[in-house]
Structure 1
Amino acid sequence: MIETTRRPALLLGVLGLLTAVVPLAIDIYVPGFPALGRDLGAGEQAAQLSMSAFLIGLVGGQLVIGPLSDKLGRRQLLVPGTAAFALLSACCALMPTAPLLVAGRFLQGCAGAAGLVLARAILTDRFAGPRLPVYFSILAMILGVAPVVGPLLGGVIVSASGWRAVFWTLAALGLGMLAATWLGVPESLPPDRRSAGGLRQAFGSMTVLLRQRAFTGYVLTLGFAAAAMFVYVGASSYVFQDVFRLSAVQYGLVFAANAAAMLVASAGFGALSRRVALPRLLSGYVVIATIGALALSFQTSFADTWICLAVVLFGVGGIFPAVTTITQTIGRSQAGAASALSGSAAYLFGALAAPLSGTTLRAMAGVMRAVLVLAVLSLLVARPWRPLEEGSFA
């Protein structure tokens, strides 16, 4: 039964933790790449491959766990998923060779996908109306903070105790997630609301959703926006430190300021969603991000580049919660499958775009411009001037 009255502080706190750990696990061990490569005798490429393996596991895990939860329920997959994440984090800390670490990271990503994909599905199960976009904006803000905290925390841990301590930290966080999930996340999908067919029908629900023009258009919009963000993450350190000669500390301040722009946009989305129809609000954020990317192509100075990137990331910060709310609304009856498709698209498109980001301002601007123009075209496919199938929250 959808809850619309009680304040879900405890539930939101736990779901926020589940949401934050995955991006934290992506970035937290980046400062340990050099030491990891030396210790395992495999070089830095092995460390980068382990990150790619985690992302692949994260995409695949969401595509399996999401629709499966529509059939079996959320808690039955969430509890073992968090337990497996803790166990596999500890295994990664003990891996003696690079191939085993890569395999461990893949499995860790599969397990970590449970918290990420089911947090969105649980919110969709429990809440409706104007409160739902507010809660998704909170999750988006948490997603924006975690990538900033991750490298900083990882640097401290690696400096003090080495790269293996990073995975022990993730194991401890996994145990904390397990306890919080056990105590604070009851089953949100009762048997009478679960998928009535077999597993084939449960997984087939993703095909049903993708056949809906609006749903596919919105998912593609999110995917291309995520690609722009991953391009920024992959290239910005080279642009600001090599091209504009910023120190590592100065770059960290720029990165934090741009992350703050994303947080402001996410918070603004939560407030504006009560007064503006969600497709219209999403369209505004897409336009803002695209204008920032187009302007970036003509910049050569540090200040102008920084401003343009802040504009892009502001737009992206609003796109994430807007698309999540819209796609979960369209796919409410298959919330797990809808969450799997939107979440996996974001990470898949990001992982594919990041290697194209290059190391120069021109290359970064070119890729960001291209993917955001594709985001605009995807939004037109979704036809945002039409009302959502289950109604807008205007």
Structure 2
Amino acid sequence: MATVGRDSAAPGTGQGRLVVVLGGLSAVSPFATDMYAPGFPGIVRSFGTTGTAVQLSLAACLVGLAVGQVVLGPVSDARGRRRLLLAGSGMFSVWSLVCALAPSIAVFDVARLLQGIAGSAGLVVGRAVISDRFSGVQAARQLATLSVIAMTAPVLAPVAGGLLLGIGSWRLVFVALAVTGLVLWLAVRAWVPESLPAERRRSGGLRAVLAAMGGLLRRRELVGYLLVVGCGLAALFAYITGSPFVFQGIYGLSPTGYGLVFASNAVGTVVAGALFERLAGPVRLHSLLVIGVLITVAAMVTLVALLATGISTLPTTWACLFGLTFGFGILLPASTALVLAVGSDAPGAASGMLGGAQFVLGAAAAPLPGVPGGTTAMSMGVVVLGCVLLSAVALVTLAGPPTAPAVRPCGPCR
């Protein structure tokens, strides 16, 4: 259903600054996740610990991101958006500084968990702000912008981290994240007004929060769209964790060469996101989602079929995975817009469930390519194909035929 009666910023009244700040809030969590990866060996040496213990800090951050979105989204429906964005960005800065000054791996891991929870506010509440201020095609386009930023950040984060490690230790990375959190706090304070007036907030505390989420889960089409995007992100995580072993271990690329392959595939996501912004409006959102899912399925069916017939080359695998990321660049904003449209009466809860589905299913799929005993092109391809097929099944069986208001909603109501 489309939401009516929302304000949308008119041109020249701060809309551009609002989207830039929300984009920064969407990017800071991916940066926190990936920016310190080049510093793993240094962290092991600093704390005199193991690589597994350091990897646990990444898992802790992902858990924080998932739990934080599920909790903070509904809370923002009751308490408003602005205060949570200010608290989230401020606490992100604080916990980043704790990471930088951590005296032990135990303190570091706990701080990473809390940093993830704080950073999740920007992701989940930022989407809810878009849902408050825009509807229909305009909401889809703004969400596409946030999606492109969020998908570009993981590519740039390790590069930025590597540059900082060139002039200092891994602790400098977290100092930079702390400064970023402070800058975002100032930007939210200056340019992000409250988007959910008191009369539209939910009351009743935790019981009302759980009731709102329970009500959303009874909507079959919303569950379908959640599974479409969750399984889609699971496919992407399986690709991200499996591709280094495939391109470097099997096809013999150097780390730099792999970085170029990964970056070019990320460009596919960005290009697809830009294409989505142009097509949203003339083409129904549900139709765009179908196109995105079909592209991902076609790309992975082609890859697995080629591998099964003995064709395992760098160009063919690269091209098929580019198709995956390109399709995901359409799938992500389309499904996000549809989830928020169907759950428009509780956008914070819908946004929280969206983030939870993405990170929970993504984290579950990430280690699967290596389950057979080692990651191969076939094991990665089969896992990714299974995820996109599940996404397609959810689209057909649960999301079902689109309702007119959800797929061709009005523009921003003024």
* TM bin (shorter chain): over 0.9
Q: Which moved more, 1:15-24 or 1:197-206?
A: 197-206
CA distance in 2, matches of 1:4, 1:181: 17
Written as runs of structure 1 = structure 2, the 5 A alignment for 1:113-152 is 113-152=120-159
Q: Which moved more, 1:353-362 or 1:24-33?
A: 353-362
Identity in percent: 40
1:350 to 362, 373, 382: 362
State the AA in 1 paired with 2:53.
Answer: A
State whether structure 2 residue 229 is matched by structure 1 residue 222: yes
Written as runs of structure 1 = structure 2, the 5 A alignment for 1:254-273 is 254-273=261-280
Aligned to 1:331: 343
Q: Would you say the 8 A contact 2:343–2:350 is kept in 1?
A: yes
CA distance in 2, matches of 1:115, 1:196: 22
State the AA in 2 paired with 1:270.
Answer: E
Cα distance, 1:393 vs structure 2:
3.8
CA distance in 2, matches of 1:63, 1:4: 26
CA distance 1:259–1:357, shift in 2 (3 Å): same
1:24 to 8, 26, 31: 31
Aligned to 2:219: 212
Cα distance, 1:5 vs structure 2:
5.6
Gaps of 5+ in 1: none
Q: Would you say the 8 A contact 2:60–2:109 is kept in 1?
A: yes
Cα distance, 1:207 vs structure 2:
1.2
Written as runs of structure 1 = structure 2, the 5 A alignment for 1:282-297 is 282-297=289-304
SS of alignment partner, residue 332 of structure 1: coil
Cα distance, 1:323 vs structure 2:
0.8
Q: Would you say the 8 A contact 2:124–2:348 is kept in 1?
A: yes
CA distance in 2, matches of 1:247, 1:372: 29
Cα distance, 1:391 vs structure 2:
5.4
Aligned to 2:162: 155
Per-residue CA deviations over 1:185-216 (Å, capped at 9, x if unaligned) read 11000011111433311232111111110000
CA distance in 2, matches of 1:2, 1:240: 48
Aligned to 1:104: 111
State whether structure 2 residue 392 is matched by structure 1 residue 376: yes
CA distance in 1, matches of 2:139, 2:56: 37
Aligned to 1:85: 92
Q: Which moved more, 1:317-326 or 1:201-210?
A: 201-210
Aligned to 2:176: 169
Aligned residues between the structures: 394
CA distance in 2, matches of 1:380, 1:319: 14
Written as runs of structure 1 = structure 2, the 5 A alignment for 1:5-44 is 6-7=10-11, 8-44=15-51
State the AA in 1 paired with 2:314.
Answer: F
State the AA in 2 paired with 1:339.
Answer: S
Superposed CA RMSD in Å reads: 1.3
Gaps of 5+ in 2: none
CA distance in 2, matches of 1:375, 1:391: 19
Between 1 and 2, higher relative CO (CA 8 Å, sep ≥ 6) is seen in 2
Aligned to 2:315: 303
SS of alignment partner, residue 326 of structure 1: helix
Per-residue CA deviations over 1:331-360 (Å, capped at 9, x if unaligned) read 111000000001111111111111112221
2:71 to 64, 69, 80: 64
Cα distance, 1:179 vs structure 2:
0.3
CA distance in 2, matches of 1:323, 1:311: 18
Aligned to 2:7: 3
Cα distance, 1:130 vs structure 2:
1.8
State the AA in 1 paired with 2:341.
Answer: T
1:198 to 178, 198, 205: 205
CA distance in 2, matches of 1:80, 1:383: 35
CA distance 1:163–1:347, shift in 2 (3 Å): same
CA distance 1:390–1:367, shift in 2 (3 Å): closer
Q: Report runs of 4+ in structure 1 exceeding 6 Å deviation.
A: none
Cα distance, 1:18 vs structure 2:
0.3
Cα distance, 1:384 vs structure 2:
4.0
TM-score by length of structure 2 reads 0.93
Cα distance, 1:382 vs structure 2:
3.0
Cα distance, 1:390 vs structure 2:
4.6
CA distance in 2, matches of 1:214, 1:201: 22
CA distance in 2, matches of 1:345, 1:75: 24
SS of alignment partner, residue 166 of structure 2: helix
CA distance in 2, matches of 1:126, 1:25: 28
